[in-house]
Homo-oligomer: A and B are copies of this chain.
Amino acid sequence: MNIYEIAERCGVSIATVSRVINGSGPVGKATKEKVLRVIEETGFTPNSFARGLNFNSMRLIGVLCTDFGDPFYSQAIAYLEEQLRSRGFHMLLVCTGYTVEGKKRGLVELVNKNVDAIVLIGTVFKENDNSHIEETARKVPVFMVNSMLDAYNVYSVKCDEERAAEQAVSALLDAGYRKPLYLHSQTWYGNADKIRGYRQALKNAGHSVDEDLIVKVDSSADAVVMLLAERLETDKDAFDAVFTANDVLAAYALKALEHLGVSKPIIGFNNSPLAELVTPELSSVDNMLAAMCHTIADRVVDVLHGKQPPKTTILSGSLIRRATF
């Protein structure tokens, strides 16, 4: 079933059928109705590859994501899908894991599919070589959610995580805590910002930074429990509060402290749904994920329409206080 078949059944030319499908030219009222009726009857849908070939677009946006395990990412995907779809685009989703190799492959695959644009969710490693992203951006516009890269054809929307982390840690210090532990599990881009914020907060309060309180740990319940147990065993006042790079780590920390029978304030990051699922509910830094995704979708549409939106947008996050602090 193709456009020729429809044209024949209607006794018109394919040009006319195409015109009624796309509303791309004048068509007599009777003819239009007939064509629509036949399309309806036959259930014909125009071949999207042929249209793609003509328009050089299938209205597909490639989305590269690191890890679904973290609710932050699945939440981002959810927002993005909604926003993009409401703007008439569909989402080609590729999940690559944390390796740079995986990301490179993912980018190549998306470029090969001729997507209209590529959205990266939190995937830039600041210290690392990002030439693969720059190279990709020479072929198709790249949009970054929650990370930033200043390069040709790359647009970024991020939360000022440094400031947000600073605010969170300052809140702990203001409340009288002196030794906040900072837990993270991946040394990616955003992490450096959070650490800077952490340091700044201590500095602002006139404290020095104990480097032993900035620690990387595997993202698993066991690892966190072990780590905290070990620290507290050595010195039961080794730290007096916990700040984590994401809510999953915060949940593990919560579990660990409960396990150890001690209670200390905990602040997570991302303000994901998880924060309200655990008991007690997690205080967490809101990094404005929904707003970021909304903004990115706007940027995508703008760029594809030939407009030139700002290359970087920075939103401010804020601490959402719940039961753990």
Residues of A within 8 A of B (CB): 43, 45-50, 52-53, 56, 58, 60, 68-69, 71, 74-75, 77-78, 81-82, 85, 90-95, 109, 111-114, 135, 139, 221, 248, 251-252, 254-255, 258-259, 273-274, 276-279, 281
Check if B277 sits within 8 Å of A48, measured CB to CB: no
A242 to chain B, nearest CB (A): 14
Sampled A-B contacts (28; CB under 8 Å): A43-B135, A45-B112, A45-B114, A45-B139, A49-B49, A49-B52, A49-B53, A50-B53, A53-B53, A68-B74, A68-B77, A71-B74, A74-B78, A77-B93, A90-B92, A90-B93, A90-B94, A90-B109, A91-B92, A92-B93, A221-B277, A251-B277, A255-B277, A255-B278, A258-B279, A259-B279, A278-B278, A279-B279
Complex partner residue of A47 from B81, B109, B114, CB under 8 angstroms? B114
Residues of B within 8 A of A252 (CB): 277
Q: How many angstroms from the CA of A46 to the CA of B53 in the assembled complex?
A: 12
A219 to chain B, nearest CB (A): 11
Q: Which residue of chain B lies nearest to A113 when distances are taken between CB atoms in the complex?
A: B48
A-side binding surface: helix, strand, loop or mixed?
helix
Check if B274 sits within 8 Å of A254, measured CB to CB: no
A252 to chain B, nearest CB (A): 7
Residues of B within 8 A of A90 (CB): 92-94, 109, 113
Residues of B within 8 A of A50 (CB): 49, 53
Residues of B within 8 A of A52 (CB): 49, 52
Residues of B within 8 A of A251 (CB): 277-278
